[in-house]
Copies of this chain bind each other. A is one copy, B any other.
Amino acid sequence: MKDFGTVAIVGVGLIGGSVGLALRQRALCERVIGIGRRQASLRIARRVGAITSTTVDLAKGVAEADLVLVCTPVGQIVDLVCQVAHHCPEGTLITDAGSVKQTLVEALDDRLSRGCRFLGGHPLAGSERGGPGNATSDLFEGRVAILTPTRSTRAEDFDLLNLFWSKLGSVVIQMTAEDHDRAVAMTSHLPHAVAAALAAAMPETYFRLAGTGVLDTTRIAGGDPVLWGQIFALNRGNVLAALDRFAGCVSALGDAIRKGDQAALEGLLKLAKKNRDALGS
């Protein structure tokens, strides 16, 4: 079954590479063209089997694409999608894997040239270890992939991307870009900010005393600072609101400890445990 024809992936890092690997291992397309800026990354992506062929020339790379997926850091997506729309076949569907959606959708929805359309996507998968060398074909299995259609979105475009992420093993959820950005500010961007603040607060002299708890709690702080700086900037309002909500919980915990109010303290810890247990493992 070759559902998706020629798929061009712009940006072959962890996400782009894993999409390529998954498409090829499941024989879901004819070809995967990897497009990147650095030959070194493209070479790794070829070596791990993520792509059929590679190029650093965007125009050439998308020239025969049936579907284009932009998997670069989120700050570059708008510009790249516009470039893609100039060079891909007329009427091509372009999607992305960016962690922020509203600014992208505002800039790109119903605005592309030559009959091309943009439909935003966001697979909730990743790792603090980026790059195509860490790509795996099962990265999206059992994970949620969010699509953010608008009033302009064609049903067949939505159906195609719904099929795309479903075939990679994901559970597809449809949200508005606005709802998406508010939700992931809490579930993804806030945890990153918290992990980063905790790692930044840690005095070097105590590193040797780090147990599994602090390692787990700070793990995602090992992610790319530039990428995350872009995400926070592009989702500023929601991230600040999430930080405020979190700061309220930290204050409540601190107050209970300060006052020696064990009932309040245990109440908060019980709510935390209840929520954490419900999140699963």
Contacts and interface: CB of A to CB of B under 8 A. Distances in A.
Interface stretch (A23-31, A60-68, A81-89, A273-281): A273-281
Contacts of A262: 229, 233
Contacts of A275: 199-200, 202, 204, 207, 218, 221
Contacts of A144: 208-209, 211
Nearest to A247: B250
A258 B272 contact: no
A183 interface: yes
A196 B279 contact: no
A78 interface: no
Interface string A132-150: 0000000000011010000
A219 B221 contact: no
Interface stretch (A45-53, A102-110, A237-245): A237-245
Interface in A174-233: 183-184, 186-188, 190-204, 206-226, 228-229, 232-233
B220 A269 contact: no
Contacts of A243: 250, 253-254, 257
Contacts of A115: none
Task: Report the copy number of this chain in the oligomer.
Answer: 2
A34 to B, nearest CB: 24
A225 B187 contact: no
Contact of A216 (B220, B249, B277): B220
11 contacts: A187-B210, A191-B214, A191-B217, A194-B217, A200-B268, A200-B271, A207-B275, A221-B275, A225-B270, A226-B266, A243-B253
Given A125-B211, A217-B219, 8 more contacts: A146-B209, A187-B210, A188-B209, A193-B250, A196-B273, A216-B220, A217-B218, A250-B250
Interface of A: 124-128, 143-144, 146, 173, 183-184, 186-188, 190-204, 206-226, 228-229, 232-233, 236, 239-240, 242-243, 245-250, 252-254, 257-258, 260, 262, 265-266, 268-273, 275-281
